[in-house]
Amino acid sequence: MVEAALTFLENTRQADGQSQYAGIFDDIEHHYRHRLAVLDDSLSPGDGYNQEHYRRHLDLSRDIVQLERRTAVNLRNEGRISDELLRKLERELDLEDERLRAKSA
């Protein structure tokens, strides 16, 4: 599945041919290489992608979600965003948090 995504991404990058989007392709490729590292123990640390690196990525991502959550609450408490916007942000952060938990399972 991950290898198919990487192949698709490379084919799309070549067909697109627009260098202004190179960063987007790089970000998505990086994401899938991390996922592959979790599934493939044969990747060596020299590849730059390994399970320990991926776990650290997930830990940092979860920490950032918590920081975003605290920041959103603070903004609401300061009257800078509405309760409705806070609820929308919390819903988005809940989904992201759940996605990260599923990846670490």
pLDDT at 21: 84
- Predicted TM-score (pTM) of the model is 0.65
| Residue with the larger pLDDT of the pair 2 and 65 | 65
At CB < 8 A and 24+ separation, what contacts does 24-33 make? 32/2, 32/5, 32/6, 33/6
In terms of Cβ atoms closer than 10 Å to its own Cβ (0-12, 13-18, 19+), residue 54 is buried
pLDDT at 78: 98
Mean pLDDT of 31-58: 69
Q: Which of 89, 83, 32, 84 is nearest to 66 (CA)?
A: 89
Mean pLDDT of 13-37: 82
* Per-residue pLDDT at 42 exceeds 80: no
* Per-residue pLDDT at 39 exceeds 80: no
